Amino acid sequence: MVPGTQELTLEFQYDGGGIGKGAEIRLAADGRIIGKGRVEQTTAYYFSVDETLNVGVDRGTPVTDDYLPVDNAFTGTIHTVRIHLYDDDPTQHLTATDRQRMALAHQ
């Protein structure tokens, strides 16, 4: 990647068919794919209460052992973060059993 301002995007295409399924992911810089891969299994339920949506630093449980659990902040400048959620119903692919589990988890 070239130093300077970049627009990074991550596209996450969930397999559907229930919770905890896999997904295809693509990472792009200024519209050019720079990485892609597959997540075979996603988290089936909820994260712990101390997990948050962090940008530029991981304050909760590290997602990888490749960096330390503290002092792992990005040293560049992040000007803007935008999260776009598609209008699709995220529960449309859940089975009846998965919907029931989800309802029980919210009680």
Looking at every residue in the chain, the average pLDDT score rounds to 81
Q: How far apart are CA 68 and CA 62, in angstroms?
A: 8
> Do residues 25 and 11 lie in contact, with contact meaning Cβ atoms separated by under 8 Å?
yes
Q: How many helices (H) and strands (E) does the chain have?
A: 1, 3
* For residues 71-96, average pLDDT: 78
Q: What is the DSSP letter of 7?
A: -
The confidence score (pLDDT) of residue 89 equals: 67
The confidence score (pLDDT) of residue 47 equals: 66
Residue 69: alpha-carbon gap to chain centroid: 18
The confidence score (pLDDT) of residue 67 equals: 80
Counting Cβ atoms within 10 Å, is residue 16 exposed (0-12), middle (13-18) or buried (19+)? middle
pLDDT at 70 over 70: yes
pLDDT range class, residue 1, cuts 50, 70, 90? low
Q: How far apart are CA 10 and CA 15, in angstroms?
A: 16
pLDDT at 11 over 80: yes
pLDDT at 93 over 70: no
pLDDT at 44 over 80: no
Q: How far apart are CA 68 and CA 15, in angstroms?
A: 31
**Paired tokens of 93:** 């692919």
Does the pTM exceed 0.85?
A: no
